[in-house]
């Protein structure tokens, strides 16, 4: 089976983890700070705070943004469920916007229509690794006094107007699940230029407890003293995982270059096939991290194409099931039909295999089988 995505682990990664296992620090040690420093540099931000998943990063970012019961968080419906779930964790209501049918990224026009007095944060997702319209969302967020959070789980390594895509929002979140740009096994991070947001994310990832003398509410009672100031979680990233992250980050540029080269190869192998729509190409102002290569087929054929490819050992997948259509969201009162472009995009999408070490032969095999499946 050629998977839709997979990690690249080298001897250097293994050595970095082994060194950490021997170092005496399995968690709360120096490897986490080291990773955070390297990540902030890659993201083009002042601060990076590592946590143990992308989902935890969303939860922490929403907390830092002040999202609470009764608030609304505006996000596209074409995303992984976690973008919405993290709002539910805080008692807030995710409001789902439609997307642009070409890129799969949140529609600025539809997002604007769905802003209310209760909207606290706006959270575009860089679908498939391609940066959303970050400049337009920033303007919209400023105008309506919203916190602008970028769900960049899929786009570490992407650039927008020549800069790292993660440097445009008030906070951006990353995921380090094995299918994403780099991996720590499980892991995530919030990056920001705002010291208060960074402080709140740190507080949240460690139970809401702080020892920081500058921020204590009460007088320090002794060397042991610490305070729980909010209801946080244990969202800490272990040093073992952070060491893997630092080692992986050294190859981030090469991972993205290889993904982009593979995407260009698909562009060539799959051009001019009737009934097949390819993802948009990169432009100088918008360079995708190429997390996915989602092609679009006739909705009536999608199931047959998918089943045929799977039966031929091609590990295709569909990204994403529109969040508002999941049974859990249906029980909360969300309605099918409320984001028609997302639902249409979903009904036609298939992600074909794309990862840094995919070979030309594998891509040729995918192209050959995909052509056959469309002729069925
Ligand atoms: C992967 C992903 C997440 C969740 O990240 P985890 O590390 O799996 O918790 C959130 N949002 C999007 C858009 C993702 O692709």
pLDDT 10s digits, 356-374 = 999 999 999 999 999 999 9
pLDDT at 325 over 90: yes
Please tell me the distance between residue 225's alpha carbon and the centre of ligand 1 in angstroms: 35
pLDDT (tens digit per residue) in 333-355: 999 999 999 999 999 999 999 99
Please tell me the distance between residue 29's alpha carbon and the centre of ligand 1 in angstroms: 25
pTM above 0.75, yes or no: yes
Please tell me the distance between residue 172's alpha carbon and the centre of ligand 1 in angstroms: 12
Q: Using 50, 70 and 90 to split pLDDT, how confident is the model at 376?
A: confident
pLDDT (tens digit per residue) in 68-79: 999 999 999 999
Average pLDDT value for residue range 82-88:
98
Which has the closest alpha carbon to 241: 82, 57, 53, 83? 53
Q: Name the average pLDDT for the chain.
A: 98
pLDDT (tens digit per residue) in 221-277: 999 999 999 999 999 999 999 999 999 999 999 999 999 999 999 999 999 999 999
What is the structure's pLDDT at 274? 92
What is the structure's pLDDT at 28? 96
Residue of the nearest CA to atom 14 in ligand 1? 153
pLDDT at 104 over 90: yes
Closest ligand 1 atom, residue 177 Cα: 7
Active site residues: 180
Prior bond of 320 cis (ω within 30°): yes
- Structural tokens at position 215: 């921020």
Closest ligand 1 atom, residue 180 Cα: 1
Closest ligand 1 atom, residue 58 Cα: 10
What percent of the chain is modeled with pLDDT above 90? 100
pLDDT (tens digit per residue) in 116-166: 999 999 999 999 999 999 999 999 999 999 999 999 999 999 999 999 999
Q: What is the CATH T-level fold of the domain 11-249, as seen in this structure?
A: 3.40.640
Residue of the nearest CA to atom 7 in ligand 1? 54
How far apart CA 150 and CA 55 sit, in angstroms, is: 13
Average pLDDT value for residue range 5-33:
97
Please tell me the distance between residue 23's alpha carbon and the centre of ligand 1 in angstroms: 30
Distances (CA, A) of 27 to 21, 51, 242, 245, 273: 10, 12, 9, 14, 51
What is the structure's pLDDT at 318? 98
| Cβ neighbours for 345, distance < 8 A, ≥ 6 positions apart | 78, 99, 101, 104, 296
Q: Which of 177, 205, 245, 323 to mutate to test the pocket of ligand 1 (most atoms within 8 A of CB)?
A: 177
Q: Using 50, 70 and 90 to split pLDDT, how confident is the model at 331?
A: very high
Q: Provide the b/e sequence for 344-359 (b: ≥16 CB within 10 Å).
A: bbbbbbbbbbbbbebe
Contact present, 2 and 366 (Cβ < 8 Å):
yes
Average pLDDT value for residue range 42-61:
98
Closest ligand 1 atom, residue 291 Cα: 15
- Please state the domain extents for the chain: 11-249, 252-375
Neighbours of 316 (CB within 10 A): 24
Residue of the nearest CA to atom 6 in ligand 1? 54
pLDDT at 209 over 90: yes
Closest ligand 1 atom, residue 187 Cα: 7
Q: Does domain 252-375 have CATH number 3.30.530.20?
A: no
Please tell me the distance between residue 79's alpha carbon and the centre of ligand 1 in angstroms: 9
Please tell me the distance between residue 345's alpha carbon and the centre of ligand 1 in angstroms: 19
Ligand 1 binding site (Cβ under 6 Å of any ligand atom): 53-55, 79-80, 82-83, 125, 151, 153-154, 175, 177, 188
């Amino acid at each position: 089976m050629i998977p839709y995505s997979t990690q690249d682990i080298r001897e250097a990664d293994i050595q970095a983890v082994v060194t950490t296992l021997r170092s005496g620090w399995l968690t709360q040690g120096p490897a986490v700070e080291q990773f955070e420093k390297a990540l902030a540099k890659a993201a083009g931000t002042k601060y990076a705070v590592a946590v143990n998943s992308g989902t935890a990063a969303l939860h922490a970012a929403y907390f830092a943004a002040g999202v609470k019961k009764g608030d609304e968080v505006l996000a596209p419906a074409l995303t992984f469920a976690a973008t919405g779930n993290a709002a539910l964790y805080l008692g807030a209501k995710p409001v789902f916007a439609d997307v642009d049918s070409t890129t799969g990224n949140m529609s600025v026009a539809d997002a604007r229509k769905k802003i209310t007095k209760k909207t606290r944060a706006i959270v575009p997702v860089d679908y498939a690794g391609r940066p959303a319209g970050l400049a337009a969302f920033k303007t919209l967020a400023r105008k309506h006094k919203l916190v602008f959070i970028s769900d960049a789980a899929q786009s570490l390594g992407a650039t927008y107007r020549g800069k790292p895509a993660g440097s445009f929002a008030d906070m951006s979140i990353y995921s380090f699940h094995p299918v994403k740009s780099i991996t720590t096994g499980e892991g995530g991070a919030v990056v920001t230029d705002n010291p208060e947001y960074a402080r709140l994310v740190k507080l949240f990832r460690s139970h809401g407890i702080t020892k920081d003398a500058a921020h204590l509410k009460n007088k320090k009672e002794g060397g042991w003293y610490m305070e729980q100031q909010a209801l946080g979680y244990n969202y800490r990233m272990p040093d073992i995982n952070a060491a893997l992250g630092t080692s992986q980050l050294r190859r981030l540029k090469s991972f993205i270059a290889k993904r982009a080269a593979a995407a260009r190869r698909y562009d060539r192998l799959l051009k001019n096939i009737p009934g097949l729509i390819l993802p948009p190409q990169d432009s100088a102002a918008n360079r995708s991290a190429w997390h996915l290569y989602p092609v679009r087929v006739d909705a009536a054929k999608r199931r047959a194409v998918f089943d045929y490819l799977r039966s031929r050992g091609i590990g295709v997948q569909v990204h994403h099931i529109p969040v508002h259509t999941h049974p859990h969201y249906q029980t909360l009162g969300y309605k099918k039909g409320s984001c028609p472009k997302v639902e249409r995009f979903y009904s036609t999408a298939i992600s074909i295999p794309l990862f840094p070490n995919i070979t030309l032969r594998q891509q040729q095999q995918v192209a050959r089988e995909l052509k056959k499946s469309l002729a069925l």
